[in-house]
Amino acid sequence: MASIVLNSVDKIYAGGVKAVNGLNLEIKDGEFMVLVGPSGCGKSTALRMIAGLEDISGGEIVIGDRVVNHLPPKDRDIAMVFQNYALYPHMTVEENLAFGLKLRKMPKSEIQKRVNDAARMLGLEQYLKRKPAALSGGQRQRVAMGRAIVREPQAFLMDEPLSNLDAKLRVSMRASLNQMHERLGVTTVYVTHDQVEVMTLGDRVCVLRDGVLQQVDTPQNLFDDPVNLFVAGFMGSPAMNFAYAELVRDNGGATVAFAGYRLPVPDSTFAEKPGLDRYIGRKIILGIRPSDFEDSGSASGNGAGWAHIPVKATVTEELGSEINVLFTIDAPPVEHKDTVAAANDGDDEETSLPLTGDKSLWTARVNARSHVRPGQDIELVVDTHNLHFFDVDSGLSIGHEANIGR
Ligand SMILES: Nc1ncnc2c1ncn2[C@@H]1O[C@H](COP(=O)(O)OP(=O)(O)O)[C@@H](O)[C@H]1O
Ligand SMILES: [Mg+2]
């Protein structure tokens, strides 16, 4: 096993596309790092440079204690798993798993042991004598993973390996991947654009945009404390709600005013976000996550720090244990370059309701006990401890430790 370090790595393709721009990233020995970002942001390019499948245009890549800039892929001791796995159709599962090891002239007994271990780990034992044509898509993808595992490489590199599988299979493959990483502890770099994979698979997540690193942190920290509008809008589904707002302070304390609503801003928020007080009296962008709403009727949240806002439910999406309540607010949509970029990449098609220019569509995720129906008036409560504030010009998260002094 090994750490993987990228120092100011650039990739400029012939034709001048700068696919990766000054990327600094340290993946610790044994860590599961997820690379995420919109299509075309440079995820695959970064992975392929680590693998050695793509030359780097600048900077340095270190695997373990070796600079590998000029090392061919086969000498980097890493295994790559792609979205489109290719198995040898004329070989059985067992032969597919063993093939790479045979090429390397590994002793038969060792090959047998590794193949059996991998098959057990991936639940492939009863399929060893089958050919790929007689396997389901998920089983084939397991074989592709198995081929990477038997090599016992220093690192796994995976490029959207589950994206061709149906939703149910993805769930079980995610579980297998987690288990596999727990057992083997092999350094893994995993590319995806799937929200659930981002939140459930990684020790840490690296968010890229246009080849530029935005933020690296644990999934929970990225969700709770995004560094800018882009990361805030990209992480989480349904996406964070945004509105232009004004911070004001009067006798009763600080409030944030938007679309005819006024929410109190707790003192603790000013303590957590140094510099926020300088925005008093100024326009900011307010962000509220759908999950920080609740229906006041069914709310656990009627205590301190919960503010009430009455809305009319335009659309409701029942998800079993929760309901997404879509409602409009009387404020123009936030059209910052960073929110637009994040929103455009989402797989959500829910924001296609016709809207006039001075209204925005927001989403609240409430408990299913709410029983709210479309067209109903409903009183929502908002957890005011989780409000997000962004600078209108820079799009940076106000008071985020990475932005202090920027
Ligand atoms: N072989 C190539 N030649 C030229 N441009 C490329 C090549 N591969 C990728 N690109 C460009 O580099 C950028 C990043 O691509 P990629 O790394 O595939 O993004 P992602 O995997 O995040 O979708 C895109 O603008 C893409 O069009
Ligand atoms: Mg890609």
How confident is the model at residue 115, as a pLDDT?
Answer: 96
Of 292, 296, 320, the residue nearest 308 (C-alpha) = 296
Helix H segments across 123-235? Answer: 137-150, 167-184, 195-201, 219-224, 229-234
Atom 16 in ligand 1: residue holding the nearest Cα: 42
State yes or no: cis peptide before 238, omega within 30 of 0: yes
Percentage, residues of the chain above pLDDT 70: 94
CA–CA distance from 280 to each of 32, 235, 276, 399 (Å)? 41, 27, 7, 13
Helix (H, G, I), strand (E, B) or coil at 24: strand
Question: Is a pLDDT exceeding 80 seen at residue 104?
Answer: yes
The residue whose C-alpha atom lies closest to atom 21 belonging to ligand 1 is 44
Model pTM score = 0.91
Residues 6+ apart with CB under 8 A from 161: 81, 82, 83, 85, 141, 144, 145, 173, 190
> Mind listing the domains of the chain with CATH numbers?
4-226 (3.40.50.300), 230-390 (2.40.50.140)
Q: Which ligand approaches the C-alpha of residue 40 most closely?
A: 1
Taking CA atoms only, the protein residue closest to ligand 1 atom 4 is 13
Q: Closest residue (by CA) to atom 3 of ligand 1? A: 13
pLDDT for res 306? 83
Ligand 2 center to residue 159 CA distance, Å?
A: 7
Give residue 190 CA to ligand 2 midpoint distance, Å.
Answer: 11
User: For all residues of the chain together, what is the average pLDDT?
Assistant: 91
Model pLDDT, residue 340? 67
pLDDT at 304: 67
Ligand 1 atom with the shortest distance to the CA of 45: 17
Instruction: Specify the pLDDT at position 168.
Output: 82
pLDDT (tens digit per residue) in 221-279: 999 999 999 999 999 989 999 999 999 998 889 999 999 999 999 999 999 999 999 99
Atom of ligand 1 nearest to the CA of 191: 21
Ligand 1 atom having least distance to the Cα of 211? 14
> Out of 61-75, 84-98, 290-304, which region has the weakest mean confidence (pLDDT)?
290-304
Ligand lying nearest the CA atom of residue 54: 1
Nearest Cα residue to atom 25 of ligand 1: 40
CA-nearest residue for atom 11, ligand 1, is 19
Distance 343 CA to ligand 2 centre (A): 18
* Half-sphere exposure in the Cβ direction for 128 (13 Å, CA): 15
Phi, then psi, of 10 in degrees rounded to 5? -115, 150
- The minimum-distance atom of ligand 1 relative to the CA of 15 is 4
Q: What is the pLDDT, as a whole number, of residue 353?
A: 58
Q: Once rounded to an integer, what is the mean pLDDT over residues 1-24?
A: 96
pLDDT digits (tens, 9 = 90+) for 153-207: 999 999 998 888 888 888 888 888 898 899 889 999 999 988 889 989 989 999 9
pLDDT of residue 281: 95
For the CA of 41, the nearest ligand? 1
- CA atoms of 324 and 372, how far apart (whole Å): 10
- Pick 333 or 18 by higher pLDDT: 18
Asked whether 67 and 2 are in contact (CB, 8 A), the reply is no
Segment (H or E) for 102 = helix 93-103
Q: Band the pLDDT of 303: cuts 50, 70, 90.
A: low
pLDDT band at 101 (very low <50, low <70, confident <90, very high): very high
| Helix ranges restricted to H, 300-382 | 337-344
pLDDT at 172: 84
Segment 337-382, tens digit of pLDDT: 887 666 655 444 444 555 667 899 999 999 998 889 999 999 999 9
Instruction: Specify the pLDDT at position 350.
Output: 47
Rg (CA), the chain: 24
Distance CA 205, CA 224 (A): 13
Tell me how far apart the alpha carbons of residues 388 and 392 are, in angstroms, rounded to a whole number: 13
272: left (phi over 0), alpha (psi -120 to 50) or beta: alpha
Strand, coil or helix: 23: strand
Which residue ranges have their beta carbon within 6 Å of ligand 1? Answer: 13, 15, 17, 19, 37, 39-45
Q: Which atom of ligand 1 is nearest to the CA of 37?
A: 22
Tokens encoding 250: 């009067």
Kindly identify the ligand whose nearest atom is closest to the C-alpha of 53.
1
More confident residue, 298 or 241: 241
